[in-house]
């Protein structure tokens, strides 16, 4: 099962479409006319370009092509646009861009193409690039994922859009005032011509500006001139999230329409179908409208979700058998080990091969070997998956929370055999995404039910369905061997693991000075469907690598911080982050008995993060009391929002490390709800201190994911420091039951 086939499609589309010309803007004109009806329907609203509109009340609206799922992207992207526009922040609001091909995310395509090994030398050049827009359209690339909103759309679209709009406003004022454009300055939402004393607010020239040509490569500010970027402005979406008015997917209503509600149940073992069902008891239950056998799932439609779910629970369903029926977690682990055994010391697909790791291992003064293991993990966003759909007159509307509105549109169009333009996706806030809402399975389910019943329906998954029908963070085993020289320095690193997805290079240890490195993928099959979970491969690779490095440090008899630092001679930014987190925590200070600290360092999604966790073992099991975190994301756009994302990544990663393990029983998922799939709660939430380093304002890193990977190894390394017990399999608490 290869869920990343769409990457191949995008790459192939490009390659067969002609030469790759990077950095040349070929996007013709300004797509205002086509978009105006969608984003600026008011007669007096002027759309300056596709990403910003200005009202007669001088209100400036940033039109943001990413969903808001708590990561703060709406605010940060509006901030970046407003910075280049020289807007008054008090005038700025944000709207979610419609699911329209004009709002594909060009840099996402660039990143995909770059990852596909096509030479893209100018990929960091801040130029709005129409070629990539075309590619993005091919692949429905309107994605919120990969910690990409700020570093990609923000840097390469929103800032350009703001700067272009500013130039268009200046050009319009210059025409009216009959003065050179170069003599007009902008500040706090105003245009000023000093010599004549003329000034006006942006709204006064909005209409005239919309008729100006849109510059494709407007100059951008240097970081020294930033007024808004780098400031902790308050999140624009928060007020509605404290009074119950924020509208999430599950809150969707259709004006003038009465909804019915659907509950669904899919076969417990992936690939199975509904063989038969006995719904006699369910039919007579309160409020039931319809019971549907959709073959790949059963749906009950009723006058309320509660009634639908109660009736669904009363249906006796049997399923077809599959090859996976007999599989349990132990069987899957054995399958992974077999793949690694088969690969041996040099087999599998080599991902990195520097020097001669096997030979260096043989010659080493000390040799270490270890296997590390992680289980499947479910996303468990607080908002269970849901989608509202209405199919009528050869068209379909869906209302949902999704990270991929255009892919959802395509998937629904395909399932219902409709043209894309007959499907409209209405996006609402996401009650958490974490990668689960990169999938379109639930939107297709709702559309199929709506088509069948011919009336608008809100489908809601039970929490049990949400846990059992996930696209899981894959289980994985990683096998290491390493050799140390007489001084304890690593001279050989040999690593093989079974799961390789995204992003490229999550397995990399090139930042550490280890001369001989062999890293391999020993592929092993699994029947459970898998997907992207916050930080994706880094969530397991961070644990594997930073645990094993810690083992090397202890084997060498050295302090784990100093050992890492001494290997970072050629990676000064990594080193600076590691040293800063050590200073924050006062690493090395005397701690109370049965208390210890662990450290870990991972670069992911362009951001280097080091974390130190303090673990208290006095209750006989680990309690994580404090976490220090230092990050280098290039340049932080919204410091408080960035800190919130580090905190979020740490708590999400800590939950995963301590508790999360999806296990299999007879091919299906054992866990079902929060009583047996536990979450970290307030009493166990550590105190978190975050700092950051702005090392490069030109190349930004992400925020949503990079806080996660270091926390699991920081905790297990602390447990080792406290107890001498090395945790090589997650979740941690299974070892302290």
Partner 1 sequence: MIQTTINGTPRQIDTDPGTPLLWVLREQLGLTGTKFGCGVAQCGACTIHLDGQPVRSCSTPASEAEGKKITTIEGLAGADGTPHPLQKAWVEAQVPQCGYCQSGQLMSAAALLRDTPRPSDAQINAAMAGNICRCGTYERIRKAIKAASGQTSVEG
Query: Which stretches of the chain bind partner 1, using CB under 8 A?
Result: 69-72, 234-235, 237-248, 250-251, 253, 259, 261, 286, 304-307, 309, 380-384, 429-434, 460, 462-463, 640-641, 644, 647-652, 655, 673-675, 679-683, 685-688
> Considering the complex, what minimum distance in angstroms separates the CB of residue 427 from partner 1?
14
Is the CB of 379 or the CB of 603 nearer to partner 1? 379
> Considering the complex, what minimum distance in angstroms separates the CB of residue 305 from partner 1?
6
Identify whether 711 is preceded by a cis peptide bond (ω within 30 of 0).
no
Quote the tokens at residue 93.
């609001």
CB neighbourhood size of 268 (10 A): 18
The residue whose two tokens read 């609206």 is 61
Is the CB of 432 or the CB of 474 nearer to partner 1? 432
> Considering the complex, what minimum distance in angstroms separates the CB of residue 115 from partner 1?
28
Quote the tokens at residue 34.
């086509």
724: phi > 0 → left, psi -120 to 50 → alpha, else beta; which? left
> Considering the complex, what minimum distance in angstroms separates the CB of residue 542 from partner 1?
17
Is the CB of 490 or the CB of 686 nearer to partner 1? 686
* Distance from C-alpha of 726 to C-alpha of 560, rounded to nearest angstrom: 14
Is the CB of 533 or the CB of 553 nearer to partner 1? 533
> Considering the complex, what minimum distance in angstroms separates the CB of residue 736 from partner 1?
20
Is the CB of 494 or the CB of 539 nearer to partner 1? 539
The residue whose two tokens read 């690193």 is 493
Is the CB of 348 or the CB of 432 nearer to partner 1? 432
* Distance from C-alpha of 189 to C-alpha of 201, rounded to nearest angstrom: 6
* Distance from C-alpha of 264 to C-alpha of 259, rounded to nearest angstrom: 16
> Considering the complex, what minimum distance in angstroms separates the CB of residue 467 from partner 1?
10
- 509: nearest Cα among 351, 634, 366, 716: 351
> Considering the complex, what minimum distance in angstroms separates the CB of residue 148 from partner 1?
18
Is 669 in contact with 662 (CB distance < 8 Å)? yes
Is the CB of 677 or the CB of 720 nearer to partner 1? 677
Is the CB of 47 or the CB of 73 nearer to partner 1? 73
Q: At what angle do helices 537-555 and 711-723 cross, to 10 degrees?
A: 30
> Considering the complex, what minimum distance in angstroms separates the CB of residue 59 from partner 1?
21
Is the CB of 84 or the CB of 251 nearer to partner 1? 251
Residue 496: Cβ-neighbour burial (10 angstroms; 0-12, 13-18, 19+): buried
* Distance from C-alpha of 609 to C-alpha of 580, rounded to nearest angstrom: 11
* Distance from C-alpha of 453 to C-alpha of 301, rounded to nearest angstrom: 9
Quote the tokens at residue 471.
């696209």
* Distance from C-alpha of 532 to C-alpha of 217, rounded to nearest angstrom: 34
Is the CB of 218 or the CB of 648 nearer to partner 1? 648
> Considering the complex, what minimum distance in angstroms separates the CB of residue 92 from partner 1?
17
Q: Vertex 579, ends 577 and 585: CA angle to 5°?
A: 105
> Considering the complex, what minimum distance in angstroms separates the CB of residue 461 from partner 1?
10
Is the CB of 436 or the CB of 521 nearer to partner 1? 436
* Distance from C-alpha of 496 to C-alpha of 523, rounded to nearest angstrom: 9
Is the CB of 10 or the CB of 644 nearer to partner 1? 644
> Considering the complex, what minimum distance in angstroms separates the CB of residue 235 from partner 1?
6
Identify whether 503 is preceded by a cis peptide bond (ω within 30 of 0).
yes
* Distance from C-alpha of 453 to C-alpha of 258, rounded to nearest angstrom: 14
Distances (CA, A) of 215 to 127, 162, 209, 643: 11, 11, 12, 35
User: What's the gap between Cα 536 and its chain centre?
Assistant: 8
Is the CB of 163 or the CB of 624 nearer to partner 1? 624
Residues belonging to the chain: 737
Distances (CA, A) of 130 to 3, 20, 119, 698: 27, 12, 17, 21
Is 731 in contact with 662 (CB distance < 8 Å)? no
* Distance from C-alpha of 646 to C-alpha of 517, rounded to nearest angstrom: 31
> Considering the complex, what minimum distance in angstroms separates the CB of residue 521 from partner 1?
31
> Considering the complex, what minimum distance in angstroms separates the CB of residue 389 from partner 1?
17
Is the CB of 198 or the CB of 621 nearer to partner 1? 621
Is the CB of 40 or the CB of 250 nearer to partner 1? 250
> Considering the complex, what minimum distance in angstroms separates the CB of residue 428 from partner 1?
11
> Considering the complex, what minimum distance in angstroms separates the CB of residue 74 from partner 1?
12
Q: Which residues contact 714 (CB under 8 A, 6 or more apart)?
A: 546, 598, 599, 600, 611, 612, 613, 627
What is the residue-wise DSSP string for 647-706?
HHHHHHHHHHHHT--B-EETTEE---STTTS----GGGPPEEEEEEE---SSS---STTT
Q: At what angle do helices 73-85 and 159-177 cross, to 10 degrees?
A: 30
Q: Which residues pair with 301 in a beta bridge?
A: 262, 290
> Considering the complex, what minimum distance in angstroms separates the CB of residue 241 from partner 1?
3
> Considering the complex, what minimum distance in angstroms separates the CB of residue 55 from partner 1?
25
Quote the tokens at residue 370.
């270890």
Is the CB of 172 or the CB of 643 nearer to partner 1? 643
> Considering the complex, what minimum distance in angstroms separates the CB of residue 67 from partner 1?
10
Q: Which residues pair with 387 in a beta bridge?
A: 400, 459
Tell me whether strands 274-278 and 316-319 are parallel, antiparallel or unpaired.
antiparallel
- 358: nearest Cα among 453, 496, 466, 539: 496
* Distance from C-alpha of 332 to C-alpha of 309, rounded to nearest angstrom: 32
SS3 490: strand
């Amino acid at each position: 099962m290869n869920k990343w086939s769409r990457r191949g499609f995008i790459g192939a589309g490009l390659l067969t479409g002609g030469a790759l010309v990077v950095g040349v803007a070929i996007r013709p004109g300004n797509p205002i006319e086509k978009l105006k009806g969608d984003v600026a329907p008011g007669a007096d609203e002027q759309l300056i370009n596709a990403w910003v509109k200005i009202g007669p009340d001088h209100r400036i609206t940033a039109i943001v092509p990413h969903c808001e799922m708590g990561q703060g992207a709406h605010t940060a992207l509006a901030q970046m646009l407003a910075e280049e526009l020289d807007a008054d922040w008090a005038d700025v609001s944000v709207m979610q861009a419609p699911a329209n091909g004009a709002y594909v995310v060009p840099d996402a395509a660039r990143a995909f193409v770059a990852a596909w090994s096509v030479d893209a030398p100018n990929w960091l050049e801040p130029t709005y690039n129409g070629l990539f827009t075309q590619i993005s359209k091919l692949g429905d690339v309107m994605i919120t994922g990969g910690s990409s909103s700020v570093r990609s759309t923000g840097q390469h679209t929103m800032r350009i859009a703001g700067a272009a709009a500013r130039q268009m406003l200046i050009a319009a004022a210059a025409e009216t005032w009959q003065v050179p454009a170069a003599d007009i300055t902008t500040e706090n939402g105003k245009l000023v011509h000093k010599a004549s004393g003329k000034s006006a607010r942006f709204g006064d020239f909005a209409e005239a500006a919309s008729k100006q040509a849109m510059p494709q490569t407007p100059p951008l500010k240097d970081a020294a001139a930033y007024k808004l970027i780098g400031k902790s402005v308050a999140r624009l979406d928060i007020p509605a999230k404290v009074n119950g008015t924020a509208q999430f997917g599950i809150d969707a209503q259709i004006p003038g329409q009465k909804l019915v509600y659907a509950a669904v149940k899919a076969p417990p073992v992936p690939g199975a179908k509904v063989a038969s069902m006995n719904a006699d008891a369910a039919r007579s239950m309160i409020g039931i409208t319809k019971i549907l056998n959709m073959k790949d799932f059963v749906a009950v439609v009723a006058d309320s979700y509660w009634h639908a779910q109660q009736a669904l629970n009363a249906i006796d369903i049997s399923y077809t058998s599959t090859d996976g029926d007999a599989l349990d977690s132990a069987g899957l682990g054995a399958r992974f080990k077999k793949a690694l055994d088969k690969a041996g010391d040099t087999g599998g697909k080599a991902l990195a091969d520097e020097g001669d790791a096997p030979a260096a291992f043989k010659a080493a003064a000390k040799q270490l070997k270890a296997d590390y293991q992680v289980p499947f993990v479910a996303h468990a966003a607080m908002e269970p998956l849901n989608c509202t759909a209405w199919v009528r007159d050869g068209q379909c509307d869906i209302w949902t929370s999704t990270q991929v509105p255009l892919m959802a549109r395509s998937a629904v169009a395909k399932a219902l055999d409709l043209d894309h333009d007959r499907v409209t996706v209405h996006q609402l806030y996401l009650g958490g995404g974490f990668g689960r809402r990169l999938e379109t399975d639930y939107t297709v389910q709702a559309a199929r039910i709506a088509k069948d019943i011919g009336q608008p329906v809100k489908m809601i998954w039970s929490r049990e369905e949400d846990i059992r029908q996930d696209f899981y963070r894959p289980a994985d085993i990683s096998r290491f061997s390493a050799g140390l020289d007489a001084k304890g320095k690593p001279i050989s690193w040999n690593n093989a693991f079974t799961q390789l997805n995204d992003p490229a290079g999550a397995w990399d240890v090139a930042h550490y000075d280890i001369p001989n490195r062999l890293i391999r993928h020993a592929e092993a099959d699994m029947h459970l469907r898998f997907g992207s979970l916050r930080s994706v491969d880094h969530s397991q690779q961070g644990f594997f690598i930073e645990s094993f490095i810690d083992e090397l440090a202890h084997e060498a008899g050295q302090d784990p911080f100093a050992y890492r630092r001494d290997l970072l001679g050629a990676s000064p930014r990594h080193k600076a982050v590691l040293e800063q987190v050590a200073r924050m925590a006062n690493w090395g200070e005397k701690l109370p008995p049965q208390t210890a600290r662990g450290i870990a360092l991972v670069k992911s999604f362009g951001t280097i993060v080091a974390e130190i966790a303090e673990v208290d073992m006095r209750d006989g099991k680990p309690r994580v009391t404090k976490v220090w975190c230092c990050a280098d994301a290039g340049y932080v756009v919204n410091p408080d929002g960035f800190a919130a994302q580090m905190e979020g990544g740490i708590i999400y990663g800590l939950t995963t490390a301590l508790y999360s393990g999806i296990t299999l029983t007879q091919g299906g998922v054992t866990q079902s709800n929060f009583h047996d799939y536990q979450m970290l709660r307030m009493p166990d939430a550590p105190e978190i201190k975050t700092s950051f380093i702005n090392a490069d304002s030109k190349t930004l890193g992400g925020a949503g994911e990079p806080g996660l990977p270091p926390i699991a190894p920081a905790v297990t390394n602390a447990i080792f420091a406290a107890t001498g017990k090395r945790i090589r399999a997650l979740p941690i608490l299974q070892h302290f039951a």
